[in-house]
Chain A
Amino acid sequence: MLMPATEPAVVSPYYLGLRNRERLMRLLAYGLLILAIVIVFFPLAWMGTVSVRPNLEVTKMPPDWVPEVFTLEPYAKIFSSPRYLVVFANTMIISLVVTALSLVLGATAAYALARFRFAGQRAVLMFLITTQMFPLVLLCIPYFRIFITFGLYDTRTALVIVYLTFTLPFCILMLRSYFLNIPRDIEEAAMVDGCSRLGAIFRTLVPMSYPAFIGAGLYTFLLAWNEFLFAVVLIESWGNRVLTMAIYSLMAEFVTEWNMMMAFSVLASLPLVVAFIFLQKYMVQGMTAGALTS
């Protein structure tokens, strides 16, 4: 690069030079990001330390940063009680069934929207986008009555059905936008080679869009796993409870066992965090797709 002819003779002592200034900025960025991580992780760390101390110690004032007595009793209590374990099993079953149903139904509908032009296509798309904006509390009122009428009140089936209201549109929209980016020639070539339409879909389109299936599946699983409102309205007996509700009802008990509740919270968050560690890329895709697809 050419130097300007009139170079300043005296360089201000405050002028660090471009390179040093950039280095300083970068150092500042590292510092700020580490600070942000510490602040963001503080509540999570607190959840962890409270889950391994006796409940008496939790209400001590001022609180100890590190537990005085370390105990795994809250975890032992959860793992030894069928009453609590059934809640984990329920949440897992419901979330897995919802995810499977959303992906299968979602992929079929997404295929229609991505591969055909048909009357009413725009209306269907608009409907799908709007469904994601529905106030869910509005739906609770009619659901409550409908499920009582059909004898589905207080069943896990009811939760599976209602969770589809928000997971299915998401899966359709995300898979559709992924399918649109896969050239249809590939399927047509497979059909020329003697595949049926369904055969072509399963041999080309489905395997090629596995990242979308993983992303949409993970996000769906997360939504179902974390849902609370419908569970509160539609489930009554403990045997059909899900995690979010069980944790909440621990607070309402006579003496709040904070250590138990935090142990529960750790265990409830763990599957999602572990899945996230291994599948971060797909999960972020699912997360961004929620807003950018459609």
Chain B
Amino acid sequence: MPSFRNRFHDEILAYSFLWPSLLILVALLIYPLGEVIRLSFYDSNLQRETWVGLGNYAALMDDPLFWQAFGQTVVFTAASVALHLVIGLGLALLLNMQLNETFRSLARGLLIVPWLLAPTVAGMIWVLMLAPFGVFNGLLARLGFIDINFATSWLGDPATALGSVTAMNVWRAFPFFMVMLLAGLQAIPKHLYEAADIDGASGLQKFWHITLPQLRGVITTIVLLDSIWTFRAFDPVFVMTGGGPAHSSEVLATVIYFDGFQKLRFGYASAEAMVMFIVLFVVSAIYVRRTMSKEH
């Protein structure tokens, strides 16, 4: 008869290796999550707390700024992810052609560089480039699109602020898609294309019927991941526009930050954070299900 020690030998050993990490992560993630849930039912400036029940959530429903930020977050996310995908796929396809090996790895290396930069640093460069005196206006003036004396402040105009932040975000983060899709392209078996060549398929046909279906798994994964990352992004907006002008580039992360750390309405900010958490949780659940089903 196996003794208790033998039966649970693996369990004991496994958890003796696991517990430090698990302890840290539970303390740093689960406990704070519980704290935010609790706070969302209070009116709190972190010193005085009054129970308000669902008051924060009720107020949230009627808060036009919150829903405006929500909508803008969705637009920002959708535009960023779509452009990441188009640009990343285009460049990956180019890099996957029969090129000189040195040129290929050099080009790939150079194109990854923006992704190494901190969003803060990348944001600052773009703030400078998009300023009224910036090089972007200078370029447009030189090409004759605008009059130099009426230069636009791209980040100061409500019509262009969010678009400008999106442009920066596309520039900084497309390499992730490019690298992932290039790896995906290189994993497609060559014989599929050879068979299509024998059947006389055109380049476009091969792309639609072989390349895209073969890349579907990678594309779904990176689109889900990028959606989650962009949806929760704080740095680009905070650094470039601070959510302005007139909240035209406000996203959920900045709204929550300002409500909490500037207006000191921590209960309300917690309720907002819970809405954001639930949205992210749903998307994450899809992602987790996908990865876990690959697991066994």
Q: Name the distance in Å between B99's Cβ and chain A's nearest Cβ.
A: 6
The verdict on A94 contacting chain B, using a C-beta distance below 8 Å, is no
Partner of B24, one of A113, A129, A164, A258: A164
Residues 225-238 of chain A, each 1 if its beta carbon lies under 8 Å from chain B, else 0: 11111001100000
In the complex the two chains form, is B21's CB within 8 Å of A247's CB?
A: no
Residues 165-186 of chain B, each 1 if its beta carbon lies under 8 Å from chain A, else 0: 0000001000010011001000
Partner of B95, one of A33, A106, A116, A261: A33
How many angstroms between the C-alpha atoms of A116 and B46 in the bound complex?
Answer: 44
In the complex the two chains form, is B221's CB within 8 Å of A291's CB?
A: yes
Task: List B residues 127-184 near A (Cβ within 8 Å).
Answer: 127-129, 132-135, 137-138, 141-142, 148, 151, 171, 176, 179-180, 183
Task: List A residues 154-205 near B (Cβ within 8 Å).
Answer: 161-162, 164-165, 168-169, 172
How many angstroms between the C-alpha atoms of A294 and B294 in the bound complex?
Answer: 9
Q: Which residues of A contact B29 (CB under 8 A)?
A: 131, 134, 139, 165
How many angstroms between the C-alpha atoms of A269 and B16 in the bound complex?
Answer: 39
In the complex the two chains form, is B235's CB within 8 Å of A228's CB?
A: yes
Using CB atoms and an 8 Å cutoff, list the residues of chain B in contact with chain A.
Answer: 10-11, 13-18, 20-22, 24-25, 28-29, 31-33, 35-36, 39, 46, 91, 94-95, 97-99, 103, 105, 107, 109-122, 124-129, 132-135, 137-138, 141-142, 148, 151, 171, 176, 179-180, 183, 221-222, 225, 228, 232, 234-235, 238-239, 252-253, 256-257, 260-261, 266, 269-270, 273-274, 276-277, 280-281, 283-284, 287-288, 291-292, 295
The verdict on A70 contacting chain B, using a C-beta distance below 8 Å, is no
Majority SS at the chain B contact face = helix
Residues 97-124 of chain A, each 1 if its beta carbon lies under 8 Å from chain B, else 0: 0000000011011011101111101101
In the complex the two chains form, is B24's CB within 8 Å of A46's CB?
A: no
Q: Which residues of A contact B276 (CB under 8 A)?
A: 135, 137-138
In the complex the two chains form, is B107's CB within 8 Å of A261's CB?
A: no
In the complex the two chains form, is A30's CB within 8 Å of B222's CB?
A: no
How many angstroms between the C-alpha atoms of A228 and B117 in the bound complex?
Answer: 12
Name 16 A/B residue pairs within 8 A (Cβ), A-sorted: A41-B110, A44-B125, A46-B129, A61-B148, A116-B13, A135-B276, A139-B28, A139-B36, A142-B36, A145-B46, A169-B25, A228-B235, A228-B238, A262-B124, A276-B112, A288-B180
Residues 250-286 of chain A, each 1 if its beta carbon lies under 8 Å from chain B, else 0: 0100000010011001001100110011001000100
> Given A25-B97, A137-B257, A112 and B138 touching (CB < 8 A)?
no
Partner of A37, one of B110, B128, B266, B273: B110
The verdict on A2 contacting chain B, using a C-beta distance below 8 Å, is no
In the complex the two chains form, is A26's CB within 8 Å of B10's CB?
A: no
Q: Total A-B residue pairs with C-beta atoms closer than 8 Å?
A: 276
In the complex the two chains form, is A112's CB within 8 Å of B151's CB?
A: no
Q: Which residues of A contact B46 (CB under 8 A)?
A: 144-145
Q: How many residues on A have C-beta within 8 angstroms of the other chain's C-beta atoms? A: 97
Q: Which residues of B contact A233 (CB under 8 A)?
A: 257, 261
> Given A106-B21, A228-B235, A288-B180, A50 and B117 touching (CB < 8 A)?
no
> Given A118-B10, A229-B234, A284-B179, A126 and B39 touching (CB < 8 A)?
no
How many angstroms between the C-alpha atoms of A251 and B11 in the bound complex?
Answer: 54
Q: Name the distance in Å between A38's Cβ and chain B's nearest Cβ.
A: 10
Q: Which residues of A contact B35 (CB under 8 A)?
A: 141-142, 145-146
> Given A225-B118, A228-B235, A288-B183, A108 and B32 touching (CB < 8 A)?
no
Q: Which residues of B contact A229 (CB under 8 A)?
A: 234-235, 238, 253, 257
Residues 41-68 of chain A, each 1 if its beta carbon lies under 8 Å from chain B, else 0: 1011011001000000011111100000
In the complex the two chains form, is B28's CB within 8 Å of A50's CB?
A: no
Q: Which residues of A contact B232 (CB under 8 A)?
A: 135-137
How many angstroms between the C-alpha atoms of A206 and B139 in the bound complex?
Answer: 53
> Given A36-B91, A108-B21, A136-B234, A294 and B291 touching (CB < 8 A)?
yes
Q: Name the distance in Å between B122's Cβ and chain A's nearest Cβ.
A: 8
How many angstroms between the C-alpha atoms of A106 and B98 in the bound complex?
Answer: 39
